[in-house]
Amino acid sequence: MKIGVFVCHCGTNISAVIDVQKVVNDLAKMPGVFAMDYKFMCSDPGQNMIISEIKQKKLDAVIVAACSPCLHELTFRNTLIRGGLNPYMLEIANIREQDSWVHTDRDKATEKAVRLAKMAVAKAKRNQPLFPQEVSVEKSCLVIGGGIAGIQAAIDISSAGYQTVIVEKEPSIGGKMAMFDKTFPTLDCSACILTPKMVQASQSKKVKIYTYSEVEEIGGYVGNFNARIRVKARSVNMEKCTGCGICWQKCPVKVNSEFEQNLGPRKAVYVPFAQAVPNVPVIDCVNCTYYRSKRQNPESKGLCRICEKFCPAGAIEFDQKDKIIEEKFGAVIVATGFSAFDHKVYGEYGAGRYKDVVTALQFERLLNSSGPTQGKILRPSDSKEARTIVFVQCVGSRDESKGVPYCSRVCCMYTAKQALLLKEHIPDANAYVFYIDIRAAGKNYEEFIERVQDEYGVLYLRGRVSKIYRTGDGALLVRGADTLSGTQVEISADMVVLATGLVSNPETVKLGQMIGIPYDKNRFFTESHPKLAPAETQTAGVFICGACQFPKDIPDSVAQAGAAASKVLGLFSQEHLMLEPVLACVNQKICNGCFHCRAVCPYNAIDEEILKDKSVVARVIESKCHGCGNCISACPVSAVDLKGYTNEQILEQLQSLR
């Protein structure tokens, strides 16, 4: 094996401290090594010199002793390609950043340069040509979650001409935004801006929507994911149903509506809200009389069946079964959103025992003209108009003792909005807001808060509320503090609105483990880089957007959805993907199948393989492997090795120092 060592002067950056000539001389004494120096190795003449030496001297590997590999590794790899060598036959000895720039003693620095170069030679001797793996790209994107973020991402991808599938676990897309009344700071009606998007998505030929569905399993890797989707039985035939609504008018079973936050009723057969997409009801098997009677007596014909009787389209199908769909995708966007914080843990606020202590989402429904009170602000306990309302911020935010240390970001703004809307509904109502800090960082946000305080006269009190309880007359006594004046404050209110924070979805952990997205201690998904890759994840081909990453308002969610979509489009613009060849590989002849490698692999890249002799051994799924080398250190028999950084190479490097 013939190895060429090229020592760079880097002007005087290197040669001022290191005796380049001595390095060349020392290296040239090694068997099979050719060495030379040049002023600027990375310049065109420098590179051409390397190319011609490769050809003339028939070099098998090249060492460049110059600056850090972080700078010019790629440059010189291309030089090798141009010289007809495999790019992975290159080694770089970093004699600038880690030698000439950090040392002053010429002899010692030169000695170190020689050691670094010899170490590179030792490694290069064991280098093997490596070849990037080529994989195809399935040009279809899976979007998990049909809230505003998911809808936006799907619209963006489909309008570029690629197939998109939205999987939504609720009977309709729309997510939390569909529940809101108005949006801050512009006060446009939430439904008025969301509904057109929902319709656009549902009417696009390139978007397929599975509602009432869940992703059960995702396997594969970038460009080639396999997903198994469970479409739950909704007991209504989607094709036949016309959405006429006779079934839910006739249905005799009334239960609390989840969409109305338990403030209003729905039927056992229902669409969650009027603008639902698709406008096809589902039957709630738990409460439906037919299903209940069937559960009690499977032999019977089943009671009720009124919906079936009245449906003009014959769309009710009681015996529908869950459907499993398996599809291939090239990319996945996760937009599973958030859950509202459950204030049961706040015993001091009644732990949900007081009906008139409502959550912000409930208040949102009370404000909404299509909500349970047709937009009148009525107390849930006695349906009297609420005239004095206390808003309590940071319930389930910035509260370590309740396990939510972070700021939910949107509560300051939506509380201000709700106080404003209250004043618009009932101009002489009294609104008090308990806050700790007002966080209004966004375009026109601070101005909005100012308006609420100045124009609408909402009284802001700086302090947390310590206790809320019902007094004898049915009013709620709110005991708080105003830290600015240093006084205890008590307010007798008709209703209290808790600005509940945003917490992660309960499914986050399961989903994260399934797809390979890490999550933080608050169970929000972790992005690939907090600044430079906010929509990417550790797993190539999987992107995140919306509140599943962290609490976000609508504009931020939409922006991130666009970002995720553009990453997917970037991926889809390629016919093939090249995968880095620095990967683990298993010598199955000596593998014991103890699977310590699998236990440590952070990417689930180790699989089982059964050999002819029935022994079970490990196999690396190359497309999942990131080449970290964790498995290699875990393997007791050194049956796994990392191409490009083999055990042998590193041992040679160590021993080159003797």
Partner 1 sequence: MEEKKEKNGFEPRLVGILCRWCSYQGADLAGTSRLKYEPNMTVLRVPCSARMSPLFLMKGLTSDIDGILFSGCHPGDCHYISGNMNARRRFVIFKKLLEFAGMEPERIQMSWCSASEDKKWADIVDSVTIEVKKTGPNNKFK
Partner 2 sequence: MKYAYYPGCSLHSTSREYDMSAKEVSTRLGIELIEAPDWVCCGATPAHVTMHVLSQALPVKSLINAKQTGADTMAVCCAACFSRLKIANYHVLNDPGKKAKINRAVGAEYNGEVAVKHLLEILAKDFGLENLKGKMTAKLDGLKVACYYGCLLVRPRKIMQFDDEENPTIMDAVVETTGAKTVDWPGKVECCGASFSITKTGVVLRLCRDILQLASDAGAECIAVACPLCQSNLDLRQPEVNKKYDKKFDMPVLYFTQILGLAMGIDWKKLGLDKHIVSPLKFLKGKNIIK
Partner 3 sequence: MKYLLNVKNLNSEFVREIQAESKTRILHCYQCGKCSAGCPIANEMEYKPNQIIRMIQLGMEESVLKANTMWLCASCITCTVRCPREIDIAEIMDVLRRYAFKRGIFPAAVADIPVFNRIFLRNIKLFGRLYELGLIGFFNLLTGNPFKDVLLGPKMFFKGKINLIPERIKNASEIKDIFKRSAEIEHSD
- Calpha distance 504→524 (Å, rounded): 6
Q: Which lies closer to partner 3 via its Cβ, residue 123 or residue 464? A: 464
Site string for partner 1, 486-525 (x = CB under 8 A): --------------------------------x-------
Tell me the CB-side half-sphere exposure of residue 296, using CA atoms within 13 A. Answer: 10
How many chain residues interact with partner 3 (CB under 8 A)? 23
Q: Which of partner 2, partner 3, partner 1, none is residue 657 near (CB under 5 to 8 Å by kind)? A: partner 1
User: Can you read off the two tokens belonging to residue 422?
Assistant: 């209250």
User: Can you read off the two tokens belonging to residue 508?
Assistant: 């986050």
CB of 347 to partner 2, least distance (A): 3
Residues in 634-653 that interact with partner 1 by CB under 8 A: 634, 642, 645, 647, 650-651, 653
Peptide bond into 185 cis (omega under 30): yes
- Out of 37, 97, 317, 609, the only residue in the binding site for partner 1 (CB under 8 A) is 97
How many chain residues interact with partner 2 (CB under 8 A)? 9
Region from 244-252, 468-476, 620-628, 637-645 binding partner 2, contact rule CB under 8 A: 468-476
Q: Which lies closer to partner 3 via its Cβ, residue 266 or residue 409? A: 409
Q: Which of partner 1, partner 3, partner 2, none is residue 489 near (CB under 5 to 8 Å by kind)? A: partner 3
161 binds partner 2 (CB under 8 A): no
471 binds partner 2 (CB under 8 A): yes
- Out of 108, 295, 344, 510, the only residue in the binding site for partner 1 (CB under 8 A) is 108
561 contacts 546 by C-beta, under 8 angstroms? yes
Q: Which lies closer to partner 1 via its Cβ, residue 96 or residue 567? A: 96
Report which residue type is found at 100: S
Find, among 417, 449, 506, 10, the residue nearest to 180 by Cα.
Answer: 417
CB of 348 to partner 2, least distance (A): 5
Tell me the backbone φ, ψ of residue 537, rounded to 5 degrees. -125, 175
- Out of 122, 311, 394, 618, the only residue in the binding site for partner 3 (CB under 8 A) is 394
Query: In sequence order, what DSSP letters do the residues of 182-224 get, joined into one string?
Result: EETTTTEEHHHHHHHHHHHHHH-TTEEEE-SEEEEEEEEETTE
Find, among 409, 414, 402, the residue nearest to 441 by Cα.
Answer: 409
The length of the chain in residues reads: 658
Q: Which of partner 2, partner 3, partner 1, none is residue 99 near (CB under 5 to 8 Å by kind)? A: partner 1
CB of 92 to partner 1, least distance (A): 9
309 binds partner 2 (CB under 8 A): no
Region from 39-47, 81-89, 310-318, 467-475 binding partner 2, contact rule CB under 8 A: 467-475
Q: Which of partner 1, partner 3, partner 2, none is residue 111 near (CB under 5 to 8 Å by kind)? A: partner 1
31 binds partner 3 (CB under 8 A): no
List 134's β-bridge partners, or say none: 578
List 183's β-bridge partners, or say none: 188
Report which residue type is found at 585: C
374 binds partner 3 (CB under 8 A): no
- Out of 31, 472, 486, 636, the only residue in the binding site for partner 2 (CB under 8 A) is 472
User: Can you read off the two tokens belonging to residue 375?
Assistant: 């937009």
CB of 465 to partner 3, least distance (A): 6
471 binds partner 3 (CB under 8 A): no
CB of 148 to partner 3, least distance (A): 30
- Out of 292, 451, 467, 598, the only residue in the binding site for partner 2 (CB under 8 A) is 467
Q: Which lies closer to partner 1 via its Cβ, residue 553 or residue 580? A: 580
503 binds partner 3 (CB under 8 A): no
486 binds partner 3 (CB under 8 A): yes
**DSSP three-state, residue 307:** helix
Tell me the CB-side half-sphere exposure of residue 538, using CA atoms within 13 A. Answer: 17
Site string for partner 1, 570-609 (x = CB under 8 A): ------------x-----------------x-xx------
What is the CA angle 389-393-395, rounded to 5?
Answer: 115
List 334's β-bridge partners, or say none: 144, 544
In 418-541, the DSSP E strands lie at 430-435, 459-462, 465-470, 476-482, 487-493, 495-500, 502-504
Find, among 637, 526, 550, the residue nearest to 590 by Cα.
Answer: 637
CB of 644 to partner 1, least distance (A): 9
**CA trace torsion 169, 172, 177, 179 (10° rounding):** -110
Site string for partner 2, 344-383 (x = CB under 8 A): ---xx--x-x------------------------------
633 binds partner 1 (CB under 8 A): yes
116 binds partner 1 (CB under 8 A): yes
Find, among 191, 118, 135, 546, the residue nearest to 365 by Cα.
Answer: 191
- The strand pair at 140-144 and 331-334 is best described as parallel
CB of 462 to partner 3, least distance (A): 7
CB of 469 to partner 3, least distance (A): 12
- Calpha distance 438→458 (Å, rounded): 14
- Calpha distance 623→223 (Å, rounded): 10
Query: In sequence order, what DSSP letters do the residues of 592-656 get, joined into one string?
Result: ----HHHHH-TT--EEEEE-TTS-EEEEE-TTT-----HHHHH-TT--EEETTS-HHHHHHHHHT
**DSSP three-state, residue 180:** coil
CB of 346 to partner 2, least distance (A): 8
Q: Return the DSSP state at 582.
A: -
Q: Which of partner 2, partner 3, partner 1, none is residue 68 near (CB under 5 to 8 Å by kind)? A: partner 1
- Calpha distance 118→112 (Å, rounded): 10
What is the CA angle 519-521-525, rounded to 5?
Answer: 25
Q: Which lies closer to partner 1 via its Cβ, residue 103 or residue 305? A: 103
- Footprint of partner 2 (CB under 8 A): 347-348, 351, 353, 467, 469-472
Kindly list the residues in this chain that would bind partner 1 in the complex (CB under 8 A).
Answer: 68-70, 94, 96-99, 101-105, 108-109, 111-112, 115-116, 119, 518, 538, 582, 600, 602-603, 626-630, 632-634, 642, 645, 647, 650-651, 653-655, 657-658
